[in-house]
Amino acid sequence: SKARRSQIRRTKTVCTYCGVGCSFEIWTKNRKILKVEPKPESPANGILTCVKGKFGWDFVNSKDRLTKPLIREGDHFREASWEEAIRLIASKFKQIKERYGPDALGFIASDKMSNEEAYLLQKLARGVIGTNNVDNSSRYCQSPATIGLWRTVGIGADSGTIKDIEMADLILIVGHNTTESHPVIGSKVKRAQKVNGAKIVVIDVRKHEIAERADLFIRPKPGNDALILAGVVKYILDNDWVNHEFLKRVEGLENLKRSLKDLTLEYVESTSGVPKEDIIKLAKMIHEAKGVVVLWGMGVTQHLGGADTSTMISNLLLLTGNYGRPGAGAFPMRGHNNVQGVSDFGCLPNYLPGYQPMEENVFSKFEDAWRTKLNRRPGLQIPQMIEGILEGKVHGLYIVGEDTVMVDCGTPLTRKALEGLEFLVVQDMFLTETAKLADVVLPACSNLEKDGTFVNTERRIQRFYKAMDPLGESKPDWEIIQLLARELGESWNYLHPSEIMDEIAKLVPIFSGVRYDRLEGFNSLVWPVEEDGRDTPILYVNSFALEGGKAKLYPIVWKRKSVEEKVYSITVNSGRVLEHFHEGTMTGRVEGLARKFPETYVEISSELAKKHSIKTGDMVLVRSKFGGEIRAKALVSDRVFGEEIFVPLFASNPSKAVNNLTGREIDRDSGTPGYKDTLASIEKLSAE
Ligand code: SF4
């Protein structure tokens, strides 16, 4: 009836899961979510969505949601008022700062926070506490891609938009399970192949769905992506298939040539296990394509040397002139819905918002605006904060929406560090494994319960609108951060996230034209945005973002020491599955998704299965070289090969989380852990 329909609210929102940034209208009646309706005008996805965006919202009404602040009393929590909780945090933070200095505190941002909230969190860290110890969870995934692009072209982000992926002749996918990690882009890639005749090449250790459809599938031994790409680059150089006209805009050709002087395709073949004919075939396909895009993900970045592989991807695109025009470019696939934005808006220990360098003129601009004195010392990255706790240098942490225990590498050590911390604050929707260790837990609300903006993988800024009130006493992150700042003596008085964005526009050149009224409804802006509102879907059309406007070919280390391993001879790979987002804090609480995918498994090759007499359904014990272990059921499949296993990031139980196995070694350039450089042994425990 008309009356019934009138109670139904339609609110434009942006998906809370992956970096595609699908937008749609969500139909609600009070707190009930009735349906999700994508619109043709949705800029990233049109009428497409995946199962998570369409059906993944029950967590908003989960009985597990936190609705009141919690304060630790011995080994349990008691409910507290906001006033009491905020007062306690402020006094503890002041105490720690007085006793050990501001750098004894650290701030960790979630990549699900809005842009405005990320900006406020780093403002709290820098402007109120006085430390640059503020980082975000892209440290766990995408930082190496950012470094590779900074070195070569100057901006750590996708160089074009999703449209350019659809328009390319050749789509090269390295270490990325597009279908399950970024499903809507996966559909578009497949459509480009079917409708436009685009070619797909996949370089991956695992034969996932898109690899099965690829025109060329290259399966190296783990950890050899950089070497393969170096081989391709070398072949292109030797055959003079470079774009000479484009190279007038690029420096460093001789340097790169020199660095590859001793590389032979025979060496690439014997080290990586990839036949040299495939390297030549790929080089030819790149040479013959009018436009090449490269998509890459955590299969590249979660390796020691991930920054180097990312650098080589960019070198390849530069040599062949595949930047600065439609249907070409570099596309690091950003994982979380706002992994791009949280870095863009300043939650990085060595940059001020908008990647402004830590230089005097930038510091003084922020000092004038924030009326404070800023600390000049660059801050700690997340793994360094954890080390800092163990070394007795970091005494307090404020973690927003991040289950650090589960997602950082080497769960046992992370847990030990957080358990020993003097004061831990966790702000989240759920009592996660990390929140269970906190001294104070603050209940945050979901993005359906607040306003804000996100940046998707293609640098697109989109608004999301409040569809319902926050559950119980939970609050938006920006309001909580503001409460704490006020308790610490600041006069912050933002009434709405749009006021935070107005402040940002004044201080951050790449966002100077971003205003809420320009982002109404399904309107969006792709940064950098000029003051007059003009945005930049394609970067580097006229110049690169490095000094003098020129790009730079950057040599890498392509030769790595290989270690002979006898006991721990199996390489552990990890990744997303379609039904769940990462460890499953949210999707694990969506009944339909949890039913479809209830339990963590260990995927093994038929070769390995035969060797250890393992069948699908058998319980197996995986022991890591770094000391940890997990027990889970085996799934024998032809998607993994040889001495490699795959464990989903989704952990149906903390003891099954893949990070029980990972070690703490990090990529020297980006600080990202070498999650996928984990060696292990496997044995059968019992038959089903
Ligand atoms: Fe789109 Fe990603 Fe959300 Fe799926 S999870 S609806 S692909 S944004």
Render pLDDT for 567-581 as a digit per residue (tens, 0 to 9): 778 888 887 766 766
Higher pLDDT, 458 or 647: 458
SS3 track for 256-267: HHHHCCCCCHHH
Q: Give yes or no: residues 380 and 252 share one domain.
A: no
Establish if 291 belongs to a structural domain: yes
Q: Give yes or no: residues 353 and 376 share one domain.
A: yes
Boundary residue ending a domain (15, 30, 61): 61
For residue 593, give the H/E element and its range.
helix 591-596
CA of residue 459 to ligand 1 center, whole Å: 16
Burial 38-62 (b: 16+ CB within 10 A, else e): beeebbbbbebbbbbbbbbbbbbeb
At 334 the pLDDT is 84
ipTM of the complex: 0.99
CATH of the domain at 574: 2.40.40.20
Residue 36 has pLDDT above 50, yes or no: yes
Establish if 536 belongs to a structural domain: no
Q: Give yes or no: residues 90 and 55 share one domain.
A: no
Establish if 529 belongs to a structural domain: no
Q: Could you tell me which residues are beta bridge partners of residue 134?
A: 107
Q: Give yes or no: residues 253 and 284 share one domain.
A: yes
CATH of the domain at 204: 3.40.228.10
Residue 688 has pLDDT above 50, yes or no: no
| Under 8 Å between Cβ of 509 and 528 | yes
At 84 the pLDDT is 98
User: 191-229: per-residue pLDDT in tens?
Assistant: 999 999 999 999 998 888 999 999 999 999 888 999 999
- DSSP-derived 3-state class of residue 246: helix
CA of residue 409 to ligand 1 center, whole Å: 26
Boundary residue ending a domain (332, 365, 385): 332
CA of residue 31 to ligand 1 center, whole Å: 22
Establish if 527 belongs to a structural domain: no
At 168 the pLDDT is 97
CATH of the domain at 491: 3.40.50.740
CATH of the domain at 21: 2.20.25.90
Q: What is the pTM of this model?
A: 0.90
At 487 the pLDDT is 98
For residue 396, give the H/E element and its range.
strand 396-400
Task: Give how many domains the chain has, as a whole number.
Answer: 4
CA–CA separation, 333 and 539 (whole Å): 16
Q: Give yes or no: residues 241 and 325 share one domain.
A: yes
Nearest to 346 by CA among 524, 120, 137, 519: 120
Establish if 487 belongs to a structural domain: yes
Q: Give yes or no: residues 236 and 273 share one domain.
A: yes
User: 336-389: per-residue pLDDT in tens?
Assistant: 889 899 999 999 999 999 999 999 999 999 999 999 999 999 999 998 999 999
- Residue count of the chain: 688
CA–CA separation, 540 and 298 (whole Å): 25
Mutation pick for ligand 1 pocket among 16, 20, 187 (CB with most ligand atoms within 8 Å): 20
At 310 the pLDDT is 93
CA–CA separation, 535 and 321 (whole Å): 23
Boundary residue ending a domain (284, 303, 332): 332
Ligand 1 binding residues, C-beta < 6 A = 15, 17-18, 20-22, 45, 49-50, 52-53, 182-184
Q: Give yes or no: residues 15 and 96 share one domain.
A: no
CA–CA separation, 400 and 419 (whole Å): 17
Q: Give yes or no: residues 204 and 277 share one domain.
A: yes
- DSSP-derived 3-state class of residue 223: coil
Q: Give yes or no: residues 281 and 372 share one domain.
A: no
State the chain's mean pLDDT as an integer: 91
User: 71-98: per-residue pLDDT in tens?
Assistant: 999 999 999 999 999 999 999 999 999 9
Return the percentage of the chain with pLDDT > 70, whole number: 95
Atom of ligand 1 nearest to the CA of 20: 8
Atom of ligand 1 nearest to the CA of 21: 8
User: 517-558: per-residue pLDDT in tens?
Assistant: 999 999 999 999 999 999 999 999 999 999 999 999 999 887
Mutation pick for ligand 1 pocket among 54, 182, 336 (CB with most ligand atoms within 8 Å): 182
Q: Determine which of 184-188, 218-222, 405-409, 618-622 has the lowest per-residue pLDDT on average.
A: 405-409
Residue 687 has pLDDT above 70, yes or no: no
Establish if 564 belongs to a structural domain: no
CA–CA separation, 505 and 529 (whole Å): 9
Mutation pick for ligand 1 pocket among 17, 48, 458, 579 (CB with most ligand atoms within 8 Å): 17
Atom 4 in ligand 1: residue holding the nearest Cα:
50
Establish if 255 belongs to a structural domain: yes
User: 254-292: per-residue pLDDT in tens?
Assistant: 999 999 999 999 999 999 999 999 999 999 999 999 999
Domain region containing 35: 2-61
Q: Give yes or no: residues 49 and 118 share one domain.
A: no
Q: Give yes or no: residues 50 and 127 share one domain.
A: no
Q: Determine which of 228-242, 369-383, 476-490, 619-633 has the lowest per-residue pLDDT on average.
A: 619-633
Q: Give yes or no: residues 111 and 167 share one domain.
A: no
